[in-house]
Structure 1
Amino acid sequence: MTIQLGQIAPDFEQDSTHGQIRFHDWIGSSWAVLFSHPKNFTPVCTTELGEVARLRPEWDKRDVKPIGLSVDPVEAHHKWEEDIAETQGHALDFPMIADPDGRVSKLYDMIHPESDPTVTVRSVFVIDPSRKVRLILTYPPSTGRNFAEILRAIDSLQLTDSRSIATPVNWKPGQSVVISPKLSDEEASRQFPQGYKTLKPYLRMVDLQPLK
């Protein structure tokens, strides 16, 4: 199964370190980040999980629920949690899905046989409160993810959902954004009374005032 942006994320019910989870119900009214790990007790994954736990204030600020997945059973997850807390200084405070039968991994196309037929790649799915997939990232097992970039992308998604804008290359919160080409100059002036800069008719930049 190939998952594409804008599709409803496949629902599933699976055991986790926080008990049985029905994915859509677990998301609730929040955003979610579902990310897979090739295998328990591996070095790169250990650093990633510790980082996600460390970033708890950032997830909460954006109303995002992180949830991990590995093909090992839940008992192994609980043992791994001890190593993560010891070596990374942050105990896991989010669920880890146990997927020993590979059901969820297959559902989300997380196993790429040409990379390794026995483990998942480092998949990332950002899912919004309507259960739509909004971002997909795929890293090889040898490359740890940049969760600062994942947070930046979520900031962009949440901001652009509420305004007729897009975020340009290397954008960070607080920097200028692009006005949608769908807006006429008249409508752009109405929506952005603070003024904007026209570089080309299709490229108009604006500094946003704080939303109230």
Structure 2
Amino acid sequence: MDTNETPAESARALRIGDTAPDFEARSTIGPVKLSALRDRWLILFSHPADFTPVCTTEFVELARQADEFEKRDCNLMALSVDSLFSHFAWLRAIRDRFDVEVRFPIVEDPTLVIGRAYGMVAPKDNDSATVRTTFFIDPAGVIRAMTCYPANMGRSIPEMLRMLDALQAIDANEALAPANWQPGEPLLKPPTQDLDEVFTAGDETAWFLRETGRSTGKGHG
């Protein structure tokens, strides 16, 4: 596998707004290159190890919800330090136990090169036992959101979909997503930067707390 990051860049934790580091690596669907997936959304998520109980439940649910991510023009890609053949054995066990096939790629990262490039693993760490990080990457390759869960707590797949919906809706509407926003609900307009509008607003909050109409999306609102 290969990344285009220098050692100094790899040691820096990524932030929202950064370009996702490119890499090439082996995966369960063949060789993958991150930059080849541009023009669609991508959710890149790590898991501590194969054959672990929490991760297994996540993969089962993500596989069951794969069509929902596809409706949103979003690819899924998993990352683990385990080997490609360990991934294969794990996916076979998942298929046989839960009758669901995991078809999104699982990338191997045995040397932690990718994990370090993404700031998921500290430069001197030897494993990723506590890592369950998720990156929401837009079609331009920019990191738009990140979440990090402890190893003993699984991700919420409905929340992953809601975050993706919100990111796509605020882009489509040039707006803001309020607390607990759900697809189809009103978004918020950015606050005005015009002093006259501040003084003529209907009340003391109307210039900065303003709803839009119903939000638009890609068939899921």
Q: Normalising TM by the smaller chain, what interval?
A: 0.7 to 0.9
1:1-212 matched pairs, under 5 angstroms? 1-25=12-36, 27-111=37-121, 118-120=127-129, 121-182=131-192, 200-208=206-214
Answer yes or no: is the 8 Å Cα contact 2:54–2:154 preserved in 1.
Answer: yes
CA, structure 1 residues 164+183, in 2 after alignment: closer, same or farther (shift >3 Å)?
farther
Displacement over 4 Å in runs of 4+: 209-212
Return 5+ residue gaps in structure 1 as ranges. 188-196
Task: Return the offset for 1:108.
Answer: 0.9
Task: Return the offset for 1:88.
Answer: 3.1
**Residues of 1 paired with 2:70 and 2:217: CA distance?**
19
Residues 86-141 of structure 1: CA deviation (Å, up to 9, x unaligned):
3333110110001111111111122259xx85225100001011000001111111
Residue 18 of structure 2 aligns to a residue whose secondary structure is coil
CA RMSD, 1 decimal: 2.6
CA, structure 1 residues 203+138, in 2 after alignment: closer, same or farther (shift >3 Å)?
same
**Residues of 1 paired with 2:14 and 2:215: CA distance?**
36
CA, structure 1 residues 85+135, in 2 after alignment: closer, same or farther (shift >3 Å)?
same
Return 5+ residue gaps in structure 2 as ranges. 1-11, 198-202
Per the alignment, residue 6 of structure 2 pairs with: none
Residue 191 of structure 2 aligns to a residue whose secondary structure is coil
**Residues of 1 paired with 2:44 and 2:76: CA distance?**
6
**Residues of 1 paired with 2:217 and 2:79: CA distance?**
36
**Residues of 2 paired with 1:162 and 1:31: CA distance?**
14
Residue 139 of structure 2 aligns to a residue whose secondary structure is coil
Residue 165 of structure 1 aligns to a residue whose secondary structure is coil
**Residues of 2 paired with 1:112 and 1:47: CA distance?**
27
**Residues of 2 paired with 1:92 and 1:16: CA distance?**
12
**Residues of 1 paired with 2:21 and 2:217: CA distance?**
33
CA, structure 1 residues 74+176, in 2 after alignment: closer, same or farther (shift >3 Å)?
same
Number of matched residues? 201
CA, structure 1 residues 63+210, in 2 after alignment: closer, same or farther (shift >3 Å)?
closer
Answer yes or no: is the 8 Å Cα contact 2:169–2:215 preserved in 1.
Answer: no
Q: What is the percent sequence identity of the aligned residues?
A: 37
Matching residue's letter, 1:118: D
**Residues of 2 paired with 1:54 and 1:65: CA distance?**
14
